[in-house]
Amino acid sequence: MRFLAVLLLTSVLFIGCAPPEEEVDLTAEEKIEQINEWLPDLKMELAMDDKYACCLKEGCNECLLAHGSCPCYNNLQEGKPVCGECYAGWQQGMGIDNDFTKEDVILDTDHQH
């Protein structure tokens, strides 16, 4: 009986401190979940550095992932085109600024990376 208790205890301890390699081995769904957890923090961080000024409530990912920054809000104010994701967001009523309507938003059709 005593042996069994020790065995049980060690297995509980072992599970409690699984090697880190196993935690990194995420499924595709878990990775997406992880990325979605990081995105808001990442946007906030870049916004504080004046690198990220998006015109959507949630902030677009298109500019973030392509450039590590977003100029869409500044572009909007200057009457310049915004990225596809921002344009689509405005059409769905997700724009951040009430001074503009979705008709004011211009889609960047010849945007190149």
Residue ranges in contact with Zn ion by CB under 5 A: 60, 63, 70, 72, 83, 86
* Residue closer to Zn ion, measured from CB, 17 or 70: 70
Cα–Cα distance between 33 and 39 in angstroms, integer? 10
Q: What is the 3-state secondary structure (H, E, C) of 24-50?
A: HCCCHHHHHHHHHHHHHHHHHHHHHCC
Question: Exposed (0-12), middle (13-18) or buried (19+): which is 94, by Cβ within 10 Å?
Answer: middle
Shortest distance, position 41 Cβ to Zn ion, whole Å = 18
Residue 108 CB, nearest distance to Zn ion (Å)? Answer: 9
| Nearest CB to Zn ion, comparing residues 46 and 70 | 70
CB 84 to Zn ion: min, Å: 8
| Nearest residue (CB) to Zn ion, 86 versus 96 | 86
